[in-house]
Chains A and B, each alone.
Chain A
Amino acid sequence: AQSVTQLGSHVSVSEGALVLLRCNYSSSVPPYLFWYVQYPNQGLQLLLKYTSAATLVKGINGFEAEFKKSETSFHLTKPSAHMSDAAEYFCAVSDNTGNQFYFGTGTSLTVIP
């Protein structure tokens, strides 16, 4: 069975500051891991994904995430927050067949000018 835990349902950062959104996973098989972003009244958009290749994954809009097996983590980071980054972020985990696909509860990111 697989699951993800997103620590912090709300995160606030100042514009220009580091963004760190936490995601820990539980999986009995090698996981595939994803980060999605949801802007108000829009669908989810894939930011990046880890599918057993490089452990440091670069995504769109300057985001990246590092797969750390020893820590069962896949935290999302961005060096400098922009106002346009304010949104809901979801971490998700799956096995390599897609038969089980689970989302975290989401983290709402607020960027303070």
Chain B
Amino acid sequence: GAVVSQHPSRVICKSGTSVKIECRSLDFQATTMFWYRQFPKQSLMLMATSNEGSKATYEQGVEKDKFLINHASLTLSTLTVTSAHPEDSSFYICSASWGYRWDEQFFGPGTRLTVL
């Protein structure tokens, strides 16, 4: 149980386009979902926390207009990178938890975004 999927696993796009990444909890209801960004050889950096039906809470330094997060249902959260640029290229990982249990996060496999 407690499986989280992400789609797509890899995406390559042109500079200026928008890319949507989906995060789904397959066998449980995720009241809270987290989005992380991971640069090569660096830590996972928390970008934002979203609770179902509420606006996402962004970490300091993360542009909310750049990284749009929607948590419309208890099983789906989406991250849209708007007007992507090469510096947005990274590995994006989502996680999900139930009952607002941040210490019980189940991670997705990640999405590799490459912006040309």
A residues adjacent to B (C-beta < 8 A)? 9, 32, 34, 36, 38, 41-46, 49, 51, 90, 94, 97-98, 101-106
Instruction: Please name all residues of chain A whose beta carbon is closer than 8 Å to the beta carbon of B107 when the two chains form the complex.
Output: 36, 38, 43-45
Q: Which residue of B lies closest to A102 (CB)?
A: B43
Query: In the bound complex, how far is the Cα of B95 from the Cα of A51, in angstroms?
Result: 20
B residues adjacent to A (C-beta < 8 A)? 4, 9, 34, 36, 41-46, 93, 95, 102-110
Instruction: Please name all residues of chain A whose beta carbon is closer than 8 Å to the beta carbon of B95 when the two chains form the complex.
Output: 43-44
User: In the complex, are the beta carbons of A94 and B103 less than 8 A apart?
Assistant: yes
User: In the complex, are the beta carbons of B44 and A32 less than 8 A apart?
Assistant: no
User: In the complex, are the beta carbons of B109 and A42 less than 8 A apart?
Assistant: yes
Given contacts A102-B43, A104-B43, contact A43 B106 (CB under 8 A): yes
